[in-house]
Amino acid sequence: MRIEYFFDPVCPFCWVTSRWVVDIADDRNLDIAWRFICLRIINEGTYNEKGPEYEASHSKGRELLRVAAAVRKDHGDHIVGDLYTAMGNAIWEVAPPAGGDRRSHLATFDRHAVAALLASIELDEAYADAMTDDRFDGILGDETALAFERTGRDVGTPIITYGDGGPSFFGPVISAVPDHTDGLQLWDALVEITSIATFSELKRSNRDPLDLPILRGES
């Protein structure tokens, strides 16, 4: 099955769900097309209420997505998955900075840091220049709009499209990556549910805290 995975690298829920999808991809013969959904675009006009730290975080996400868009333009979807993995490991799978939080850690992702991430997966460090290149904002906006066209608004990240022209849903939102067996069971259950044309939503707001090193203070 070909799926489209819409991601923003600064969303922790999106990161956890992506690790589950990557883990079960081979066993379920998934061809993952990595698409962009930009929280900075989604939340435009709301930052007076949410505070400057959210705007800074989401703006950093847009910078990182610009880099991903530049890489995808030249190298295709699969290398974007490798880049997202490198970004996510550096953002989420680390201990928080002393006296700081995940947003202050995110602020350290300047051009030098992004260039190092690119080099770690054998990509040209010059792609880091795209961080400040707003010419890529068109594709970010187009793919964000595409995701919402498929799901409707008032959802977040991630969004997954199941199959070519298949249904699209927000989530699943999971607090931790399930073990491999449970992950396969979760995937099979979702495919079954999403195949029902009249199915729309299944949700609860009570959930366990996110299990990520940067949020629990472990490396």
3-state secondary structure the chain: CEEEEEECCCCHHHHHHHHHHHHHCCCCCCEEEEEECCHHHHCCCCHHHHCHHHHHHHHHHHHHHHHHHHHHHHHCHHHHHHHHHHHHHHHHCCCCCCCCCHHHHHCCCCHHHHHHHHHHCCCCHHHHHHHHCHHHHHHHHHHHHHHHHHHCCCCCCCEEEECCCCCEEECCCCCCCCCHHHHHHHHHHHHHHHCCCCCCCCCCCCCCCCCCHHHHCCC
Averaged pLDDT, 37-60: 89
Tell me, what CATH number does 88's domain have? 3.40.30.10
Q: Assess whether pLDDT exceeds 60 at residue 11.
A: yes
The pTM (predicted TM-score) of the whole model is 0.93
pLDDT digits (tens, 9 = 90+) for 185-200: 999 999 999 999 999 9
Domain range for residue 195? 2-216
Provide the pLDDT for residue 64. Answer: 98
Provide the pLDDT for residue 219. Answer: 44
| Total number of domains constituting the chain | 1
Averaged pLDDT, 37-62: 90
Q: How confident is the model at residue 122 (pLDDT cuts 50, 70, 90)?
A: very high
How many percent of the chain have pLDDT more than 90? 75
CA dist., res. 39 & res. 23, Å (int)? 25
pLDDT digits (tens, 9 = 90+) for 77-103: 889 999 999 999 999 999 877 766 677
Kindly report the CA angle at 152 between 149 and 156, in degrees rounded to 5?
A: 105
